[in-house]
């Protein structure tokens, strides 16, 4: 809007209220060298909430076509924990789609939007689903699950439907919060789905983000942060409703949301229960967000103070791994090569590059765990701290760990 007002992406006619400026932030693209680093674009990352539906959103979202261009690949199959998560999800979906006693068994059709490396589709194919992925950067999966390489939209949904039947299951894991045009996306989901079909999505859960101070989860690639309240408001105009919602541990607190056409599925008690919890938090009022913003500002000072204190005697700090969520934390706290010697990684896609915005060199994990190792390792993937600590100990790191969030602390 030219007058500086940002309207809610769901409600369309309600002005969003800004509560947290996180400064200029780059995309999660890792510069290959100094020249690329100097020309790296950045955009303001400011969060606001909608006083009607509680949707938290980036005030000025950057187009997904800019953000997900080039070499951006999350690669779902990369971590063992996430693969187990997908396997368990596939089991659950297979159970939900099991034939009723006495009825003819038939193959169910599942479409995954944002299918990434096809890990989940391969799992579903093994459980007798017919599968199709839609992902502009979709990789060929080991199981050979087919993929349409397009950004999902209502138009792409119609193209897909001209070649195939409506889907029993439409999936979107950590995708539905990223897309630029949410309403067009939901139109597409709606047209792709059979009358009794279900749309299963997983997204980060706003109340978890607020409670555990996960401002590092805010980055340009995530333009919205959902509560159940916000999801219900988004689905309603498309004739869809949430019929079940499960809280899951992914990314430090997420929800798995089951939606279908209104009245097509029995509504599970989890929906009313979670909605009651959210009403108590008053997510459409400003107080909860103002409190969060104050804690975030205080956190920056405390983390910088702790690192100053630790390095006061000449000790060195390096960071362990460079997840997308580290970009906001490092940039917001102004932590660069002066504070952090290097970031260790095992991904060949990142080694040899620089961290977005802060330009800390990314090197092989051997340097963190070898003979010249630093005294402290900052855990940027702090939401899986335990798993990382045991892995780095096994690799030979003998120093102490700094966990940045929710409270900056040192673990020996
Ligand atoms: Zn709204």
pLDDT at 67 over 90: no
Q: What CA–CA distance (Å, rounded) separates 335 from 248?
A: 31
| Domain boundaries, position 361 | 313-411
Distance 219 CA to ligand 1 centre (A): 20
Q: What CA–CA distance (Å, rounded) separates 157 from 134?
A: 9
- Asked whether the bond before 406 is cis by omega within 30 degrees of 0, the reply is yes
Does residue 272 form part of some domain?
A: no
Distance 208 CA to ligand 1 centre (A): 19
Does residue 349 form part of some domain?
A: yes
Residue 60, Ramachandran bin (φ over 0: left; ψ between -120 and 50: alpha; else beta): beta
Distance 53 CA to ligand 1 centre (A): 4
Q: Which two tokens stand for residue 344?
A: 């260790």
Distance 49 CA to ligand 1 centre (A): 8
Q: Which two tokens stand for residue 285?
A: 């009022």
Distance 232 CA to ligand 1 centre (A): 11
Kind and range of the H or E run holding 70: none
Q: What CA–CA distance (Å, rounded) separates 396 from 393?
A: 5
Does residue 317 form part of some domain?
A: yes
Distance 14 CA to ligand 1 centre (A): 6
Distance 1 CA to ligand 1 centre (A): 16
For 49, 85, 97, 110, 243, the CA distances from 90, given in Å and listed in that order, are 34, 9, 10, 11, 19
Distance 406 CA to ligand 1 centre (A): 28
Q: Output the pLDDT for position 168.
A: 96
Does residue 239 form part of some domain?
A: no
Q: Model confidence at 79, in pLDDT bands (50, 70, 90)?
A: low
What are the residues facing 258 on neighbouring strands?
Answer: 200, 244
Does residue 214 form part of some domain?
A: no
Does residue 108 form part of some domain?
A: no
Distance 249 CA to ligand 1 centre (A): 26
Pairing label, strands 17-26, 409-411? unpaired
Distance 29 CA to ligand 1 centre (A): 30
List the strands of the sheet with 376-379, edge to edge. 362-364, 343-345, 317-320, 376-379, 400-403, 409-411
Distance 41 CA to ligand 1 centre (A): 29
Q: Alpha-carbon dihedral of residues 382, 385, 389, 390, nearest 10 degrees?
A: -150
Distance 24 CA to ligand 1 centre (A): 25
Distance 284 CA to ligand 1 centre (A): 9
Distance 9 CA to ligand 1 centre (A): 7
More confident site: 10 or 71: 10
Kindly report each contact of residues 155-160 with a partner whose C-beta sits within 8 Å and lies 24 or more positions away, as own/partner: 155/188, 156/188, 157/187, 157/188, 157/189, 157/191, 157/192, 158/191, 160/111, 160/132, 160/134, 160/192
Q: Output the pLDDT for position 73.
A: 46
Q: Output the pLDDT for position 76.
A: 39
Distance 57 CA to ligand 1 centre (A): 10
Q: Which two tokens stand for residue 307?
A: 């690192």
The pLDDT of 30-53, averaged and rounded, is: 94
Q: What CA–CA distance (Å, rounded) separates 80 from 32?
A: 27
Distance 245 CA to ligand 1 centre (A): 20
pLDDT in tens, 358-410: 999 999 999 999 999 999 999 999 988 998 999 999 999 999 999 999 999 99
Distance 10 CA to ligand 1 centre (A): 5
Q: The domain spanning residue 391 has which CATH number?
A: 3.40.50.720
For 105, 274, 391, the CA distances from 208, given in Å and listed in that order, are 40, 13, 26
Distance 226 CA to ligand 1 centre (A): 11
The single residue listed with the structure tokens 């690949």 is: 73
The pLDDT of 244-259, averaged and rounded, is: 92
Candidate from 60-64, 88-92, 105-109, 319-323 with smallest mean pLDDT: 60-64
Domain count, the chain: 1
Distance 186 CA to ligand 1 centre (A): 16
Q: What CA–CA distance (Å, rounded) separates 47 from 18?
A: 6
Distance 55 CA to ligand 1 centre (A): 6
pLDDT in tens, 173-192: 988 988 888 999 999 999 99
For 102, 258, 277, 308, the CA distances from 272, given in Å and listed in that order, are 33, 14, 9, 47
Q: What CA–CA distance (Å, rounded) separates 151 from 159?
A: 12
Q: What CA–CA distance (Å, rounded) separates 113 from 91?
A: 19
pLDDT at 233 over 80: yes
Does residue 327 form part of some domain?
A: yes
Distance 234 CA to ligand 1 centre (A): 8
Contact 47, 18 (CB under 8 A): yes
Secondary structure letter of residue 319 according to DSSP:
E
């Amino acid at each position: 809007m030219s007058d500086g007002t940002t309207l809610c992406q769901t409600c369309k006619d309600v002005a969003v209220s800004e509560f947290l400026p996180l400064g200029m932030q780059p995309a999660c693209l890792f510069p290959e060298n100094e020249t690329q680093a100097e020309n790296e674009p950045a955009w303001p990352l400011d969060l606001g909430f909608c006083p009607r539906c509680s949707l938290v959103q980036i005030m000025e979202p950057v187009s997904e076509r800019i953000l997900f261009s080039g070499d951006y690949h999350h690669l779902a199959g990369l971590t063992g924990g996430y693969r187990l998560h997908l396997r368990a999800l596939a089991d659950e979906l297979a159970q939900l789609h099991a034939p009723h006693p006495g009825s003819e068994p038939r193959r169910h059709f599942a479409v995954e939007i944002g299918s990434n490396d096809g890990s989940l589709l391969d799992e579903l194919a093994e459980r007798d689903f017919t599968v199709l992925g839609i992902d502009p950067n979709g990789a060929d999966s080991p199981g050979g699950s087919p993929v349409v390489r397009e950004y999902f939209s209502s138009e792409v949904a119609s193209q897909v439907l001209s070649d195939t039947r409506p889907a029993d299951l439409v999936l979107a894991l950590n995708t539905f919060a990223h897309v630029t045009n949410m309403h067009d996306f939901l139109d597409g989901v709606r047209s792709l789905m059979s009358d009794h079909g279900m749309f299963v999505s997983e997204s980060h859960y706003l109340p978890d983000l607020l409670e555990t101070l996960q401002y590092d989860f805010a980055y340009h690639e995530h333009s919205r942060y959902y509560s159940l309240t916000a999801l219900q408001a988004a689905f309603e105009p498309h004739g869809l409703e949430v019929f079940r919602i499960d809280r899951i541990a992914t990314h430090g607190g997420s929800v798995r949301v089951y939606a279908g056409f209104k009245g097509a599925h029995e509504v599970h008690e989890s929906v009313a229960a979670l909605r009651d919890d959210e009403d108590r938090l008053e997510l459409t009022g400003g107080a909860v967000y103002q409190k969060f913003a104050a804690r975030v500002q205080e956190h920056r000072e405390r983390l910088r103070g702790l690192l100053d204190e630790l390095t006061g005697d000449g000790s060195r700090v390096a960071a362990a791994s460079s997840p997308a969520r580290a970009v906001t934390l490092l940039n917001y706290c102004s932590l660069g090569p002066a504070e952090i010697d290097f970031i260790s990684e095992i991904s060949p896609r990142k080694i040899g590059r620089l961290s977005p915005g802060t330009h800390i060199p990314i090197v092989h994990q051997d340097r963190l765990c070898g003979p010249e190792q630093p005294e402290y390792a900052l855990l940027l993937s702090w939401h899986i701290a335990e798993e990382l600590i045991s892995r780095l100990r096994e690799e030979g790191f003998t120093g102490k760990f700094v966990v940045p969030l929710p409270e900056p602390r040192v673990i020996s």
